[in-house]
């Protein structure tokens, strides 16, 4: 009997110790899991933008406008060539942008060897960084959803809103249709801007006609992209784009003498009928197509994003609506990049 009582006592003590040692930590572990649940964690917004030689001030202004107009956590991927990376890093680290979360990524232009047809009409469109958007999954690998911006944009809205753009199942990207906003139609007519496939592809070529795309089909602008990296990789979008780049080298299917140069055309082919739409106010375009044609100030104030696509950039002269762009510009601490103004 004594042995049985002793055994029961030992078992009781063990049970008490078990509860104290294991049950409390289990409760703590459960509480920790709840605190770190995905619903309550802040999602990071990856933004890709290029820093090209001679126009780094554009990238700085774009980054500043994004950072200043959101409370969201933004991770900037700043893409540059080996020769330009030290300059942009120094600019950021020695200005108010030193507070941003950013990574500088080197783009190796050798991936473009044999894929770009030399074109003298607009040589600036042949710069390597103009094709970074083709290689997003190779440069940005840990994110499911990514935003890409051309450097000649200013963001006036909260980028969280753009990031929340819904992509339809099976779509690797969302773009802005060139026919989407009646308010821009007058600008398009006044500056002779093309907004159909006929303005980008050479329909005299059999390879283009074989696509079965009507010349009057509305084009889209890839200066702002919301991309799904999983679908991009699954559909081998980069390989498809490279295929059309190589075919253009061989057959001259499009050129920079047409509306959108050499980077837009392959995207129009590959994404035809397979992309989602961005809210039109998140991509007000054509500000760089004329040194004279202007939008109304009220319309521009309502816009979420302004894009100076075209020859006339807001850091150069002549250009329009430069005050809206210059509000976000941060002078270069090294003094290498300077604004071109009438009195400079």
- Residues 38-92 have pLDDT tens digits of 333 448 999 999 999 999 999 999 999 999 999 999 999 999 999 999 999 999 9
**Which structure tokens are listed for 28?**
């703590």
CATH number of 128's domain: 3.90.550.10
Q: What span, in angstroms and rounded, lies between the C-alpha atoms of 17 and 11? A: 10
Domain that holds residue 61: 45-178+220-230+274-327
Q: What span, in angstroms and rounded, lies between the C-alpha atoms of 276 and 315? A: 32
**Which structure tokens are listed for 282?**
């998140």
> Domain for residue 164, yes or no?
yes
> Domain for residue 101, yes or no?
yes
> Domain for residue 22, yes or no?
no
SS3 232: helix
> Domain for residue 74, yes or no?
yes
- Residues 218-276 have pLDDT tens digits of 999 999 999 999 999 999 999 999 999 999 999 999 865 555 568 999 999 999 999 99
Residue 17 in this model has a pLDDT that exceeds 80: no
Q: DSSP labels for 126-157?
A: G-GGGGGGGGHHHH--S-SEEEEE-SSEEE-S
Environment class of residue 131 by beta-carbon count within 10 Å: exposed (0-12), middle (13-18) or buried (19+)? buried
* Between 36 and 301, residue with greater pLDDT: 301
pLDDT at residue 306, as a whole number: 98
> Domain for residue 128, yes or no?
yes
> Domain for residue 173, yes or no?
yes
> Domain for residue 195, yes or no?
no
pLDDT at residue 195, as a whole number: 83
Residue 178 — pLDDT band, cuts 50, 70, 90? confident
> Domain for residue 292, yes or no?
yes
Cα dihedral sign, 315-116-84-154: positive
Q: Hey, how many other C-beta atoms are within 10 angstroms of the C-beta on 33?
A: 9
Say which residues have a Cβ less than 8 Å from residue 91's Cβ, sequence separation at least 6. Answer: 56, 60, 97, 330, 332, 333, 334
Which is nearest to 290 in space by CA: 318, 262, 264?
Answer: 318
- Tally the domains of the chain: 1
């Amino acid at each position: 009997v004594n042995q049985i009582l002793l055994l029961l006592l030992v078992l009781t003590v063990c049970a008490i110790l078990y509860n104290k040692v294991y049950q409390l930590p289990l409760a703590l572990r459960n509480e920790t899991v709840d605190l770190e649940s995905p619903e309550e964690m802040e999602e990071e917004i990856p933004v890709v933008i290029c820093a090209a030689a001679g126009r780094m001030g554009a990238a700085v202004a774009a980054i500043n406008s994004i950072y200043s107009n959101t409370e969201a956590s933004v991770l900037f991927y700043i893409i540059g060539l080996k020769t330009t990376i030290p300059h942009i890093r120094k600019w950021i680290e020695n200005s108010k942008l030193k507070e941003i979360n950013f990574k500088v990524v080197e783009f190796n232009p050798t991936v473009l060897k044999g894929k770009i047809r030399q074109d003298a009409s607009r040589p600036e469109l042949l710069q390597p960084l103009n094709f970074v958007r083709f290689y997003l999954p190779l440069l940005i690998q840990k994110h499911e959803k990514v935003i890409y911006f051309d450097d000649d944009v200013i963001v006036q809205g909260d980028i969280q809103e753009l990031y929340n753009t819904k992509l339809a199942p099976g779509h690797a990207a969302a773009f802005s249709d060139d026919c989407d906003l009646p308010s821009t139609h007058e600008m398009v007519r006044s500056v002779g801007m093309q907004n159909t496939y006929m303005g980008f592809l050479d329909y005299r070529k059999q390879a283009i006609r074989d696509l079965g795309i009507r010349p009057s089909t509305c084009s889209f602008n890839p200066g702002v992209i919301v991309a799904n990296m999983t679908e991009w990789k699954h559909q081998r979008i980069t390989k498809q784009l490279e295929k059309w780049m190589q075919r253009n080298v061989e057959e001259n299917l499009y050129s920079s003498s047409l509306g959108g140069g050499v980077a837009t055309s392959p995207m129009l082919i590959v994404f035809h009928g397979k992309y989602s739409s961005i809210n039109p106010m998140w991509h007000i375009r054509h500000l760089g197509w004329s040194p004279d044609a202007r939008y109304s100030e009220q319309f521009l104030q309502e816009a979420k994003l302004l894009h100076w696509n075209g020859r006339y950039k807001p850091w150069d002269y002549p250009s329009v609506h430069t005050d809206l762009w210059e509000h976000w510009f941060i002078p270069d601490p090294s003094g290498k990049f300077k604004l071109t103004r009438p009195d400079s």
